[in-house]
Amino acid sequence: MCVFCKIIAGEIPSKKAYEDDDVLAIYDINPQAPVHIVFMPKTHRMTCADDVNGDNAEIIGKIFVAIAKVAKELGLSDGYRVINNCGAAAGQTVPHIHFHLLAGKDGMSESMI
Ligand code: AMP
Ligand code: ZN
């Protein structure tokens, strides 16, 4: 089981930012910006953006609905970034598709995570 599946199963503790039937969002254990939340589907489906297709794309829309909701709740009206690292060369370490929500001064810098 991947680390995010263990978090979803409750085997590894996490600080939840959002949860519904399909989507879980947790505060990143190693934040790269003042606000750093990771959104994931609750089932292990695609590895990263490269695996998204017409048959499985619905969950991506649900994740983005959750991102917009949390961004509004947190008052991120100055802007934020949403990042999917796809593949090891892009910095991906967890093979369970997820989207980083980054906000705050560092989140707006030129650097990638
Ligand atoms: P990526 O590098 O895009 O695969 O992102 C994986 C992210 O998961 C990294 O930013 C890690 O800091 C984060 N992460 C790994 N393990 C945990 C955990 N147990 N709780 C919260 N975040 C985690
Ligand atoms: Zn998983």
Q: Report the alpha-carbon distance of residue 13 to residue 29 in Å, rounded.
A: 10
Give 105's pLDDT tier (boundaries 50, 70, 90): low
Domain count, the chain: 1
- Closest ligand to the CA of 40: 2
Report whether residue 24 contacts ligand 1, using a CB cutoff of 6 Å. Answer: no
Q: Is residue 13 part of a domain?
A: yes
Q: Give the position, in ligand 1's atom list, of the atom nearest the Cα of 12.
A: 19
Q: Report the alpha-carbon distance of residue 113 to residue 108 in Å, rounded.
A: 11
Q: 72 Cβ partners below 8 Å, 6+ apart?
A: none
Instruction: Tokens for 101, please give them.
Output: 């929500």
Looking at residue 112, what is its pLDDT? 47
Q: Is residue 113 part of a domain?
A: no
Give 107's pLDDT tier (boundaries 50, 70, 90): low
How many angstroms is it from 107 CA to the middle of ligand 1?
A: 16
Q: Whole-number mean pLDDT of the chain?
A: 94
Q: Report the alpha-carbon distance of residue 63 to residue 44 in Å, rounded.
A: 14
Report whether residue 29 contacts ligand 1, using a CB cutoff of 6 Å. Answer: yes
Q: Among all residues, which ones are annotated catalytic?
A: 98
Q: Is residue 65 part of a domain?
A: yes
Q: 30-75, pLDDT tens digit by residue?
A: 999 999 999 999 999 999 999 999 999 999 999 999 999 999 999 9
Q: Which domain holds residue 35?
A: 3-108
CATH of the domain at 47: 3.30.428.10
Cβ atoms of 77 and 15 closer than 8 Å? no
Report whether residue 28 contacts ligand 1, using a CB cutoff of 6 Å. Answer: yes
